[in-house]
Amino acid sequence: MLLKAGHLSEEELTDVFYNAETDEILQFRSNRIHTKNTHGTGCTFSSAIAAFLAHNLPLNEAVAKAKEYMEKSIAAGAAYEIGKGHGPVHHFFNFWE
């Protein structure tokens, strides 16, 4: 189970992951990135976990790498001005310069 903290109001966020296979609780801390471009972060996060699992990473490592990817993709897309409302993260930040 993964509890995301992005909708909370604190400046330091803590996502909590419970690995039922190993009975471990992992905490992933990050600083809030001030942006409205967060549309689809939940779907992107879960897809990133699945992609890292497909690369045969252990579950805890897949979640940790997905969290790192999410932080970087949110930061890279933070300044986008696309339409109205919540914009996307920069999914391909590591391919574009």
Token pair for residue 41? 């972060």
H helix or E strand, kind and range, residue 25: strand 24-31
87 included as an active-site residue: no
Active site residue 65: no
For the question of residue 22 being annotated catalytic, the response is no
Q: Has 6 been annotated as catalytic?
A: no
Considering the candidates 35, 40, 65, 72, report the single residue annotated as catalytic. Answer: 40
Assign 3-state DSSP to the chain and report helix, strand, coil percentages, each to 5: 35, 20, 45
67 noted as active-site residue: no
Q: Which of 35, 41, 65, 72 is catalytic?
A: 41
| Catalytic residue list contains 38 | yes
- List the catalytic residues: 4, 38, 40-43
